[in-house]
Amino acid sequence: MQQVVTIQPPEFLPRKFKVYQHRQLDKIEALKRVPEEMLFEMKVVANVLPFRVNEYVFNELIDWEKVPNDPIFQLVFPQREMIEPSAYDRMATLMKNGGTTNEIFNLAEQLREEMNPHPAGQVEMNVPTVDGEPLRGMQHKYRETVLFFPSQGQYCHSYCTFCFRWAQFVGKSLRMNSNDADSLHRYLEQHKEVTDLLVTGGDPMVMRTKKLREYLLPLTDAKYDHVQTIRIGSKSLTFWPYRYITDPDSEELLELLETLVKAGKHVSFMAHFNHPQEMRTEVCREAIRRIRATGVQIRCQAPLLRNLNDDADAWAEMWQEQVRLGMVPYYMFVERDTGAKRYFEVPLYRTWEIFRDAYQQVSGLARTVRGPSMSAGPGKVEIQGVTEIHGEKVFVLRFIQGRNPAWVQHPFFAQYDEKATWLHDLKPAFGEEKFFWEDEYAQMSSMG
Ligand SMILES: *Cc1c(COP(=O)(O)O)cnc(C)c1O
Ligand code: SF4
């Protein structure tokens, strides 16, 4: 099952980045293999949810013999059940009746609004200010960590069908971003409690090195000593590993990473892998080797998704493979309550079982992974287990991160419920009326 990692680094020829977007499904040669009806369904959904795929993904990551069950096919190509049947029918009808581009766009906007585009209060809450001005491209939810969304990184090399940030990729009105390196730097300068900067997107690794350098290199100045860690969230190891090998500025990118490390920062590359199949190509492995050679640590995180990776063996293999390639398993997430959730959601009890069954198969080095974790309004809530206490079956939960740091690592209990898929479905156990954090959280939410 496993391939051997070659000792001699292979040679790679420069690759042109060829990408296809939602009106270009017909141009993708590989899709000529799928039945016509399915292709139409894909086009309907691609009008609503973001769609973008590049040649590397469909030529080298997908096993077309297994389509539609291939996990990478599910990761990037839209499926009919990803949107509500009524939404599907409205869009399909409009398309069959020859709706104009404008009509399709307007209907799409409407349907998207019904899909919870901004889960966990992403827009209203967590917006920091500098000198009284709100910074739309930043979020500061947990004391130690600031999230930064550079405006040039507001897309990805390909799009995941389950993306929780999907609203950013469609329609300007929903977008949140920042192009202001200056306000990032000023904010960090004024907030000495911040130890971690998390650069996210979209995917910041779609940016040219020159831009990334403008944001990151100034942080090596002594006035940012408190910012110990720079995290970069990216799915480029899956979608475009050539970024680190043959892109025109890939050498400079690796040099920038090395410079940050040598200046005393801990740089953590937060890789997003959903399935072991993403790590099997030689080019991905070479990209991992090159990033690690700069002194950057790679940590891995991903949501658990029905129809894609709801399988303990796949997770165990993925974590083991990550350790073997020198990466650190970090988080397993619960699929968020947004976008194509209806297609991907797995009940919490089942998510926990899969986590447990995978965790039991791996050695301690892979048990650095935490989860399954819900990134909800009040914080990151981990499902620690299912147990029975005095005859009542309960979920055991804890905060890994809390809007109030004092909530962290404080166990709490919810009634066991096989239908629950998210924190807001859970009710306190033992006849309690509220969870211990609820009043305080309600107060925080009302303050915005
Ligand atoms: C996950 C997350 C972080 C980082 O949390 P860690 O536990 O340090 O990994 C920071 N901010 C937000 C909004 C997050 O969701
Ligand atoms: S890589 Fe991340 S931000 Fe980009 S589409 Fe996938 S989940 Fe969304």
Asked if residue 127 has pLDDT above 90, the reply is: no
| Closest ligand 2 atom to Cα of 162 | 7
- Residues 16-45 pLDDT 10s: 889 999 889 999 999 999 999 999 999 999
Give the lowest-confidence range in 8-17, 46-55, 193-202, 219-228.
8-17
| Of 194, 380, 408, 409, best ligand 1 pocket probe by most atoms within 8 Å of the beta carbon | 380
| Nearest CA, atom 10, ligand 1 | 145
Least confident of 12-21, 68-77, 294-303, 422-431: 12-21
Q: Is the separation of the CB atoms in 140 and 146 below 8 Å?
A: yes
In 3D space, the residue among 174, 157, 40, 75 whose CA is nearest the CA of residue 115 turns out to be: 174
Question: Which ligand is the nearest neighbour of the Cα of 380?
Answer: 1
Does the pLDDT of residue 173 top 50, yes or no?
no
| 400 pocket-lining for ligand 1 (C-beta < 6 Å) | yes
C-beta of 153 in contact with ligand 2 (< 6 A):
no
Mean per-residue pLDDT, 111-117: 88
Question: Which of 57, 61, 235 has most ligand 2 atoms within 8 Å of CB, for mutation?
Answer: 235
Whose CA is closest to 429, among 412, 445, 441?
412
Ligand nearest to C-alpha 233: 2
> Could you give the 3-state DSSP secondary structure of residue 114?
coil
Q: Could you state, in order of their start, the residue ranges of all structural domains in the chain?
A: 10-113
Please indicate whether residue 148, judged by its CB atom, sits closer than 6 Å to ligand 1: no
Separation between Cα atoms, residue 110 and residue 104, nearest integer Å = 10
Q: Is the CB–ligand 2 distance for residue 381 below 6 Å?
A: no
Calpha distance 431→16 (Å, rounded) = 61
Ligand 2, residue 201: give the atom nearest the CA.
3
Task: Assess whether pLDDT exceeds 80 at residue 70.
Answer: yes
